Structure 1
């Protein structure tokens, strides 16, 4: 491979950016957003620990791949690549983590495990960790855009997330430019090109491929450091139109957050149900059935009688029914006893989905839905066109994100430990990374 990659708009290459970004380069809003994303990811990981998906993948990593790398929120260890797989899969087990609309997916989920694993190996500072996190979000956003813009099939976040994780590892372990190019090429070549709509139609624990993306990215870095070679990453080196604005157009500020732990595509319909419920003082018994107009992909979230939390999270009908019955959603509303609630199932199975051209035209930049409640007294109530809450254009406040973090983390970790994690993140640039990992790499 050549010593340097292609040159882009302002002379900045992706390789320059991977290794050259510094804390002093980051505007204050970007620094603050890095901490918000980190807190949210850790909260979702804690909230997902009770799922079968998280338990199985952590057992698999610890028992089948011995090693010395700690597993997130576990007392056991594994090999680096499989520890990364377990971390990302635990986050992905509760579909409440941040995302990026143009990526149709999630940057932080496959990125964070690589940062934690290689950051711990390199004994980096908190400032160094946060800087690498920002680099990863900027790199991951552009890798995702390049893949979606050049590949005809819609692949999961794990596919381009593998390249993102490799970029983070290359930075933290100090790989040279040649090794970095090989790492990215290995990761792209072996990353999970898993078809997203296949899991939408058949929701299971494979979900968004994030675990395998993190595993592939970490493996790629370890291999490249040893001299293993890979073909150049097409998304990085053959799609220059997607690599503009490095260091000036901060994609991390364009992330959305999720108020509810379900697929983002279902969240505009949920908002429509809740808005009508509040405005008219309704309860579920008032409603004969629900109708939703939205974009094609949202209509494919069609599991109306879920048997697992994965099926409930990748559904439009079931979360809308939960929202109508319970006035909101929490992880407990999407698992076990809630899956058998007769009133929720009545509304879920009766919900009518329709594809709407207006919503199709707006996707993926905006996820629109319009809701009608057909009442038992014959009235029909219709919402405006709704967007999900906490989009980048209307983000949550710091207090709202902290409240979400505690709602997910406190029942699992305890209030004191959750408070300690939040406190460390708030001042992480002044501390070593170990100040955070000492709270993360042990069981509740």
Structure 2
């Protein structure tokens, strides 16, 4: 078992040469995907509100992602985390039931902007470190309490650790930073936002802000109780097993719990060739949490993203689910609303038992001609056991970023990421991310 002291050593001493080639490749893919999702999220009302708030109430000189206005480093982390989280298309970690990169990246971006001399290798190294710290903290925290809390709770601890490294804090200060973040991290109840979808989302931005603030407090001598999550056996293979390589990616910008149902209904439509207007009944069998995504008639993008029925309806009408389909201007689609309203759901004991490591669903569709179709069991696409190709993720990035940033800027970001491990400075990429959206 790795001790808390060993974890602190790992944070301070990890080098680029310690990362296996597949980990280096994965860090770039995660970075590309997060930026694409963040670009898509920047056009939401949620993102506009939080960026306005950060600019006005958390003032500073550091440019926010996709905005350019200045904020403090904590404000930059908050705004960036909530902007990525505004479009539920980012990567995640099944055992944690949540997302590491969503909060880690904007905190890292803000810290790198403040320091100004972060190399490309160090940027990717710290992103990788953030995933390792976040995912292990998540498993430890989830094992400590029965309530399911948001990603911000454990992202805060990870961000405090990587911030301490970048800021050059000593071991004792790093321990205090992570203890402060664990104590103040937003242990918000995730299922409340599932039952009542709002802009609260997964707490990722709040966790990023908390982690950055904790490190800055520790640097000034503020003390925190030891982080209890560092004294568990979830760290025993730290540095040997790289959890960044165990992330899933999302083909669709909605909750992961709705992705298997989408796969099931699309398979039936592909195999039987029916038009959505021929459907008279639609039933999904899945696990409890998926069934809890119960909003049928949606009026906001948050409701659309935290629903099972609405994304299934979108998929049956459009053949896929893209950011433009969950944008608020597109929600009042009569056929999508009709299908969403008639969809029913039921739980399955085997699917419940398999969760969270597996998210299973099957679909039953009745057509006007009387045909009753039933799918096989499906799991979400792009799991770590069957990951997307580099080309898949590049296509997703351009689908999400292109309409918001333009193709020229999107291509420049892609090129900057491709060469990041060989550049003396991450600043060219940071400058591209800082530019406001039109």
Q: TM-score, normalised by structure 1?
A: 0.96
Paired residues, number: 435
User: Displacement of 1:350 after TM fit?
Assistant: 0.6
2:126 to 111, 128, 132: 132
Deviations 1:66-110 (A, max 9, x none): 111210011201111111100000000000000000010000011
Structure 1 residue 14 corresponds to structure 2 residue 40: no
Structure 1 residue 367 corresponds to structure 2 residue 337: no
What is the distance in 1 between the residues matched to 2:188 and 2:173? 26
What is the distance in 2 between the residues matched to 1:32 and 1:216? 29
Note if contact 1:14-1:139 (Cα within 8 Å) is conserved in structure 2.
no
Note if contact 2:60-2:70 (Cα within 8 Å) is conserved in structure 1.
yes
> Following superposition of structure 1 onto structure 2, how do residues 25-424 of structure 1 map, counting pairs within 5 Å?
25-122=18-115, 123-237=117-231, 239=232, 241-424=233-416
What is the distance in 2 between the residues matched to 1:427 and 1:439? 14
Note if contact 2:76-2:107 (Cα within 8 Å) is conserved in structure 1.
no
User: Displacement of 1:12 after TM fit?
Assistant: 7.5
Moved more, 73-82 or 313-322: 73-82
Q: Which runs of 4+ in 1 moved over 4 A?
A: none
Moved more, 330-339 or 374-383: 330-339
What is the distance in 2 between the residues matched to 1:36 and 1:290? 36
What is the distance in 2 between the residues matched to 1:190 and 1:150? 16
Unaligned runs of 5+ in 1: 1-6
Q: TM-score, normalised by structure 2?
A: 0.98
What is the distance in 2 between the residues matched to 1:15 and 1:208? 27
User: Displacement of 1:441 after TM fit?
Assistant: 1.0
Note if contact 1:84-1:218 (Cα within 8 Å) is conserved in structure 2.
yes
- Secondary structure at the aligned position of 2:364 is classed as strand
- Secondary structure at the aligned position of 1:293 is classed as strand
User: Displacement of 1:337 after TM fit?
Assistant: 3.9
Note if contact 2:41-2:84 (Cα within 8 Å) is conserved in structure 1.
yes
Deviations 1:235-289 (A, max 9, x none): 113x2x1111111111111000000000000000000011111111111011112
Note if contact 2:2-2:238 (Cα within 8 Å) is conserved in structure 1.
no
Deviations 1:106-162 (A, max 9, x none): 000111112112223331100011111111111111000000111121100001111
Note if contact 1:17-1:135 (Cα within 8 Å) is conserved in structure 2.
no
Note if contact 1:92-1:208 (Cα within 8 Å) is conserved in structure 2.
yes
What is the distance in 1 between the residues matched to 2:90 and 2:200? 16
What is the distance in 2 between the residues matched to 1:96 and 1:29? 23
Note if contact 1:305-1:339 (Cα within 8 Å) is conserved in structure 2.
no
What is the distance in 1 between the residues matched to 2:95 and 2:281? 33
Deviations 1:347-400 (A, max 9, x none): 101101001011101100010001111111111111110010100001110011
